[in-house]
A and B are shown apart, each in its own frame.
Chain A
Amino acid sequence: MPTISINRDLLFSALGKCYSEEEFDELCFKFGIELDEVTSDKLIILKEQGTERSEGASEEVIYKIDIPANRYDLLCLEGLVQGLQVFLGETGFPPFKVIPSQTVPQRLIVKSSTCSIRPYAVAAVLRNIHFDQNTFNSFIDLQDKLHQNLCRKRSLVAIGTHDLDTVQGPFYYEALSPDSIKFQPLNQTKEFTASQLMDLYATDSHLRHYLPIIKDSPVYPVIKDSNGVVLSMPPIINGEHSKITLKTRNVFIECTATDLTKASIVLDTLVCMFSRYCQDQFTVEICEIETSQGGIKNYPILKTRQEKIDVNKINRMVGINEQADKVADLLTRMCLTATVAGNGCLSVTIPPTRHDIIHACDVYEDVAIAFGYNNIEKTLPSTNTIAAQFPLNKLSDQLRDQLAQAGFTEALTFSLCSKEDISDKLRKPLSSIPAVHVSNPKTLEFQVARSTLLPGLLKTIAANRKLPLPLKFFEVSDVVLKDRQRDVGARNCRKLCLVYYNKSPGFELVHGLLDRLMQLLEIPLDPTGTTGYSLKACDDATFFPGRCAHVVFAGATVGVLGVLHPEVVTSFDLNLPCSALELNVEPFL
C-alpha cells in the first residue's frame, strides 16, 4: 500500500478547512485511506540520523497517508484534495479535455528497434503551466509514487518530463547500443556513454535498483529530439538539457513501457492531476505517437466511459435499499458522476482518473463507501449448511490430545528449514530426500520445506536444555514431499513425531507410547505385519546401529523409531541420549 507524505497546512489550505487530527483521521477512515503517521521533516531526520542532523530541519507537520494500491488518482496532494472535496460534496468533478495543438502537434516516432527491450511509448504536452515550489515538488513526487507502484519500479512504465521549449520535435524513441548513446544526464556536469552511466549509477542508492531492467540488453532505449538531443534514457535517467524547472511553461511528458495499458493510465493520471495548473485549466495538448508498425495514435486517451448500472443490483449487492437518485448522489461523491437513466438504471460516468473501475462491482463498492460501510444494516445470510471437519485434522487433533495426556509437550516449529537440517545433520545425503527446494530463500533457514519433523524438535530441545530432564516433546504437523502424481509435483504428508531426551535413551518409553497410540487406534500388534502393526529392525543412518526399527502397518512401513545416532545428537548441539519416533498419520485415517 503506497504511503504519501503531505504537508498538513498545505492540505488544509487546499481543502479550505482545518481539521483536528481526530476529525481528519475519521474522514480518511470513511473515505478508505488511512492517516498512518503524523510527523515532520525534523522528526523524521531526528529518528533516522539523530539530533544533530535534525537541527534546522522544518518542523511543519507532515501527514503520512496510506492510499489503496489501486487509487493512483490519490497519490498526490492535488488528487487527494480533489477526491476529498468531491467526497464531501464541496465541488464537482472537473471535465478533463484533450485539446489539439495550436500549430503542429508534437510527434513521438517509435522505432522498431525498441521492440526487443521496451516497445511502447506515449506522450502528452501540458501547455502554459505555472508551477510554484510546492506544486513543482508535488509533480516530481507523483512521478516517483507512480514509478514505485503502478509502474512496478519503472519495469512496466517509466516517466520522463521535459521542458518542451528546450527541445525540438519530432521526437524519436529508439533502442541503440550502449556505447552509441552519449549525453549529459540529469544533475551531472559532463557527458557519459550509456555504459559509463551503468557504472556511475551502480552505487547510486536510488538509481541502481533500475539498472537491471536494461543492463544486460544489447540495446538501450533512448528518446532524442530532431536535433539528436537526448531527452532521456528510460527507465534510468533523463537528460540535463531538457530538465524542467520552476520556470518551465510547457511540459513534454513521455512514458515508455512494456505494458501499453499501464503507460496510458500513468499518462492520464499525471496530466489529470496537473492540468489544473495550466492556463487553460484541465486541458492537455494532444501528441501523436507513430508506432513501430507505422500507424499514428493520439495520446493522452483521457477516455471517459459510460456504464449503465442497475440500481436494484447495487442495492442487492450492498444490502441497502436506496432510491436511484440517492444512489446517483452517492456515486457522484466518489468522482463517478451518475445520473438516473430510467429503467431502474443509472448512467455512470467513469472519468480518466478512475482506471481502477473495471467492473460494475467496483461501482457497487463506491456506492457502499459513500453510503458508509458502517451505516449498512447488519444481516445474517440465510445460507444453511451442515459443518464437517477435515478428517485428517480431526484425527491429528485427537492424537495430539493423547500425546499431551501421555506427558509430552507440543512444539510448533517451522515448515521451512535449511538443507543441512534434513540431510547432513541427520546423516543422510540430500539427494536421497524428496524435498521441495525454494528458489529464492533470503536466509539458509528457508532453503527447503522440511521432509521430517525431527530437526525442528531437536532444535526445540537445544533451546530448552535448561529445563529439568527428561524433555518430552512432540509435534503433529505436515511435511512436504515431492510427488509427481500431483498437479504441482509435491504433496503434504501429515506426520507425528516425538522425542525423549534424558540421561538414558528411553527407547522402551517411546516404544511404549507407540503401543499406546496403536491401542488408541484399535490396531493390534501383529508380528506378521499383514493386518496389525509390528516393528522391524532396520538400518537408518539417523539412528544408532541396532537401536532402530521401522513401524510396519498393513504391510507398509509407516514410521521409524529408535535411539538417535550420537552424531545426530551432537550436530544439534545436544549431549544426552535421545529416542525418537516419527510416524506417518495418514495411513491410520
Chain B
Amino acid sequence: MAIAHGEKILKYLEENGKANSLRLSELWNEDHQKIVGTVKSLLCLGDVIEAELHSSVKWDLTEEGKQVTTHGSHEAQVYNAIPPSGSTQTEIMTQASILNAGFTKDMAKVGFSKAMSLGWIAVDKSSGAPKFIQKVSSIQDVVQEHLKELASGKNMLTNELRTEIVKSYEMKPGSSFSTSVTKQETDLTPEMITSGSWKTKEFKAYNLNALGTPVPRGHLHPLMKVRAEFRQIFLEMGFSEMPTNNYVESSFWNFDALFQPQQHPARDAHDTFFLADPATASDIPTDYMERVKNVHSHGGYGSQGYGYDWKVEEAKKNLLRTHTTAVSARMLYALAQGGFKPAKYFSIDRVFRNETLDATHLAEFHQIEGVIADYGLTLGNLIGVLYEFFRKLGIEKLRFKPAYNPYTEPSMEIFSYHPGLKKWVEIGNSGIFRPEMLLPMGLPEDVSVLAWGLSLERPTMIKYGYDNIRDLVGPKVNMQMVADNPLCRLDKHRGTEIKEPDYLQELDIRMDSILTRLRGIENEVSKLKKKDKGSPEKLTLVIEADPIYPPLSVQTLIRILMASRNAPVSVTIHQHSSLKKACSADLMQWAKSTISNVSRVDNLFNLTWIWKPVGPRPVAKVVNHYNGDICGETAVARLLARILESWTDCAFYENYDLNTTAEIDDWLDMWENCIQSGDPNFVVLINHIYNQLNCSDGRKWLTGVLPGTKSLADVFLSTVLGHKLNSDRAKEWLSRCNSF
C-alpha cells in the first residue's frame, strides 16, 4: 500500500518537479495522514526524495458552522420559519426544526434575539397572545455568505470556526531520485551468504549517528583508578610502598611519636575516633616511649619541649588513625633500629576523622603520603621533589605557603594554580619532620626526613568533576557512574575537567567563534545585497546600550546610514525598566525615523534602540536571522559598517581590499585592547593616531595606501576619541571625518 502510494508520489514528482503532501491529498482524495506516512517511508530510503516539513494553520468550520452554510444563519432560519401571518414562538420553533432537524433551542434563542436586533422580525401583540411576524419582505444572510466563502478557502474569523494546525511536506526529488522503489535489506544473513542473494540485494544504510549497543563488562572504581595512577607515579620515582593495613593505631604512634602534644586539639574526641574496644594499646617500646615522654615534657635534642606533664595513659588510647603518618613513624622507627639506610616511602590508604561531614568531607578518606629520609636533605630538595611529583600529575605551576604543623618544621602548604577557578588552590601539605620526632627514634642527627601528603578524593573530584563526595565514595554511589567513568590519565586534560588554557588554542577557539559570527553576518549582508535584484529584505536590529557608556561610534554610523537615504529606517528608542535613572530627552530622541510611517512594513531597516544598564559593551541582535548576540562597540560598529556597505554599495570596510580591511580591524582591535588592558586614556592608541597623521607623506586617513582611504577606522576613532585629540593634524582629520 505504502509502496504503491510511494511510487505514485515519485511519478508525480518526476512529472511536476515538486509536490506538497496536502495538495496531493486533495488531488487524490486521500487521507493526508496516509500521504504523510508514505512520505516518511520514502525518506527512509535514503536520498530518493527531499522533504521539508511545513506547518500551517488552517481554518475549518465546526458542525454549527456547517449548518449555517446549508440552512442559513440562526436568525435567517428563525425568519424563514415565520409564516406571513405570523406565529407564536413555539410554532416557529416547531416549523424551524421541520426545516432543519439540527436546529436547537439554544440556536433559536440566538436566532430570535439576532433577528429582532437586525429588524427582520417583530412582536405583534394586537391579537392577544404575542405573535412574531416578518418585518421585512426579504433578508440578506451575510453570515451564511461569509461562512460559505471561508469553507471554500477564504480566510476570515468567526465563532463558527475551529483552527487546525496542518503539517505538510514540501517534496522535491533527491540526489538518488528514482521512480521505482525496492525494499532494502537491513542486515546480512547466513542465508544470503549461502545463496549468494546478497549480490543483488540493496542494504539499508546504517545510521552512524546513533550509539552502538553497550557491551557487557566489569569496571574498576574511579577512585581506585586514580589511586593506581598515584601509586604508579610513586613507583616510577623509586618510592616503596608502606604496609598501611592497620586502621587501628595507638595515640602514641598517631600523635606522641610525631611530637604532637597531648593537649593538641586534634586529639579531641571531636576530631578523632577513639575506640571503646580494644580501648588501649598494650605494647609501646619502653625506652623509645621514655625518650618521647622526655622530649614532650622537658625538651632535649636542642628543644625546649612543650613543658607539660606527659601521660602514658593518654598515649595508650587506641584510635582509628587520623593520618598515615602514624605508619610513617613506625617505618622511620624501624629504619632507625636496623641501622639507618636512606629510604623513600609512600602510601595511599584510608584515614579517619570524627569531623563534621559536608559535601567534600567524609569521616574516612584516603591519604596519599610520600616520605624521603636521607642525610643532608634540604627544603630546596622538598620543593624540587614536589615539582617533579606534581608535574607527573600534569600540574606545573606550584606555589608554597608557610604553614604550621606540629610535626614538621619548616612546613609548607602546596598550592597549584587552578585555571578553571582562576586562582591558587591548596592541594597538599608538606614539610621536614621535626628533630623532636626523629631523634628520639634513634635516627642519626644529620638525617632529615621530607614528607608530603594530600587526599586522594580531592584530586579525583577535580579530575572527574564531582561536587559531592558521596557521588564518588560509599554505598550510595551510582554504579552506572563507575561503569561510564573514563580512564584515569592524570597528565591528560580532558572531559569534565577544566583545562589549563592553551593560549594558541584559546585564540583558535576565539577565531572560530568570530568566523561563525562572521558567516552569520555574511549571510545577513548577502541577503541585504539581494536588494539590487528586487526589494531588499527587511532587517530588524535591536541594540542595547548603556546610557552611562553611550556607544558614540554606533550612533554615528546609524546617522550615516540614515543620511544615505538609500535605507528607509524606522527607529524606536526605549528605556529599559532596569535603568536606575530615566534617560534625558536627548538620549530618547537622538535618532528619528527617516520615514514618517513607523509601522514595520517590509523592505525597511528597523532599528530598536534600548537604553539598558548593560555596561560599556553594547549588544546588538539581528532579529530573526542570526542567533548570536554581537557584543562590544567595535563588533556592533563592524556590523553596521557591513550593513552600510550593503545598503549604499560604497566602500567603507570590507568592500576594500583585504589589506585595508585588515588595517581597519587593527585600529578597532587597538581600541578594544586599550579598554581591556585598562588604558582608559588610550595613550597607546592616541600616539598611534598621531604618528599616522603626522607623517609628512600627506596622508589624510588612517588606512589604505596614500593618501589613504576614509573608512570605518576613521569614523569610529574620530567619534570615540575626537575629544581627546588636539594636534593640528588630528584636528584637520577630525573635520574631514565629520564631513563624511
Q: Is the CB of B377 within 8 A of A490?
A: no
Residues of B within 8 A of A376 (CB): 379-380, 383
Q: Which of B45-53, B471-479, B496-504, B527-535 contacts A (4 or more CB under 8 A)?
A: B471-479
> Which residues of chain B are within 8 angstroms of A29 by Cβ–Cβ distance?
399, 401
| Chain A contacts with B in 377-405, Cβ cutoff 8 A | 377-390, 392-393, 397, 400-401, 403-405
Q: A384-B238, A407-B216 are contacts. A463–B478 as well, Cβ < 8 Å? A: yes
Residues 434-463 of A, flagged 1 when their CB comes within 8 A of B and 0 if not, give 001111111001100100000011011011
Q: Are B381 and A473 in contact (CB under 8 A)?
A: no
- One of B218, B274, B385 near A409 (C-beta < 8 A): B218
Q: Which residues on the B side are within 8 Å of A359 (C-beta)?
A: 301-304, 409, 434-436
Give the residue name and chain of the A residue nearest to B362 (CB). A414
Whether, in the assembled complex, B364 has its beta carbon less than 8 Å from a beta carbon of chain A, the answer is yes
User: Is the CB–CB distance between A404 and B381 below 8 Å?
Assistant: no
CB distance from A396 to the nearest CB of B (A): 10
Considering only residues 248-276 of chain B, those with a C-beta below 8 Å from chain A are 248-250, 263, 265, 269, 273-276
Report the nearest A residue to B366, measured CB to CB. A412
Bitwise interface map of A from 299 to 342 toward B, beta carbon under 8 Å scored 1, else 0: 00000000000000000111110000000000000000000000
B204 to chain A, nearest CB (A): 28
Q: For the complex, what is the distance from the CA of A320 to the CA of B378, rounded to whole Å?
A: 9
Which one of B113-121, B277-285, B552-560, B605-613 contacts A?
Answer: B277-285
B437 → chain A closest CB, angstroms:
10
Q: In the complex, which residues of chain B have a beta carbon less than 8 angstroms from the beta carbon of A393?
A: 231, 241
Query: Which of B305-313, B583-591, B635-643 contacts its partner?
Result: B305-313
Task: Please name the residue on chain A nearest to B350 by beta carbon.
Answer: A415
Interface segment among B219-227, B615-623, B679-687, B703-711: the answer is B219-227
Return A477 CB to nearest CB of chain B, in Å.
9
CB-CB under 8 A from A413, the residues of chain B are 474-475
Q: Judging by beta carbons under 8 Å apart, are B220 and A404 in contact?
A: yes
Chain B hits for A365, CB < 8 A: 402, 409-411
Q: How far is the CB of A386 from chain B (nearest CB, A)?
A: 7
Instruction: Answer yes or no: A489 CB below 8 A from chain B CBs.
Output: yes
- Contact indicator per residue, chain A 444-488, by CB within 8 Å of chain B (1) or not (0): 011001000000110110111001000111000010101000111
Q: Which of B658-678 contact A (CB under 8 A)?
A: none
B540: min CB distance to chain A, Å = 41
Partner of A410, one of B240, B378, B383, B482: B482
Closest to A67 in B: B404
Residue of A nearest to B356 (CB): A442
Q: How distant is the Cα of A259 from the Cα of B450 in the complex, in angstroms? A: 32
Most B-side CB within 10 Å, residue of A260, A361, A445: A361
Task: Give the CA-CA distance A490 to B409 in the complex, in Å.
Answer: 32
In chain B, positions 386-422 with a C-beta closer than 8 Å to chain A are 387-388, 399-404, 409-412
A68 within 8 A of B: yes
Q: What residues of A have a CB within 8 angstroms of the CB of B246 in the complex? A: 486, 488, 491-492
For B412, give its contact among A152, A373, A411, A486 (CB under 8 Å): A373
CB–CB B344/A259 < 8 A = no
A201 at the interface (CB under 8 A from B): no
Are A358 and B305 interface neighbours, CB within 8 A?
A: yes
- How long is the Cα–Cα vector from A489 to B246 in the complex, in angstroms? 11
- For residue B483, which residues in chain A have a CB less than 8 angstroms away from its CB? 409
Q: Of all chain A residues, which has the CB nearest B285?
A: A487
Extra 6 A-B pairs, beta carbons < 8 Å, given A392-B243, A409-B483, A482-B277: A361-B409, A380-B385, A387-B240, A410-B482, A413-B475, A489-B281
User: Which residues in B have some Cβ–Cβ distance to A below 8 Å?
Assistant: 216-221, 223-224, 228, 231, 234-235, 237-250, 263, 265, 269, 273-284, 299, 301-308, 318, 320, 342-344, 350, 352, 354, 362-364, 372, 374, 376-381, 383-385, 387-388, 399-404, 409-412, 432, 434-436, 448, 450, 473-480, 482-483
Query: Can you list 28 A-B contacts (CB < 8 A)?
Result: A29-B401, A68-B404, A152-B265, A156-B263, A317-B379, A318-B379, A358-B303, A359-B302, A359-B436, A364-B409, A368-B379, A373-B383, A379-B384, A381-B381, A381-B450, A387-B344, A393-B241, A400-B224, A404-B220, A411-B475, A437-B275, A467-B480, A473-B479, A486-B246, A487-B282, A488-B248, A488-B281, A492-B245
The 10 closest A-B pairs by CB, nearest first: A319-B380, A32-B402, A489-B278, A319-B378, A459-B475, A68-B404, A261-B307, A365-B410, A439-B276, A487-B283
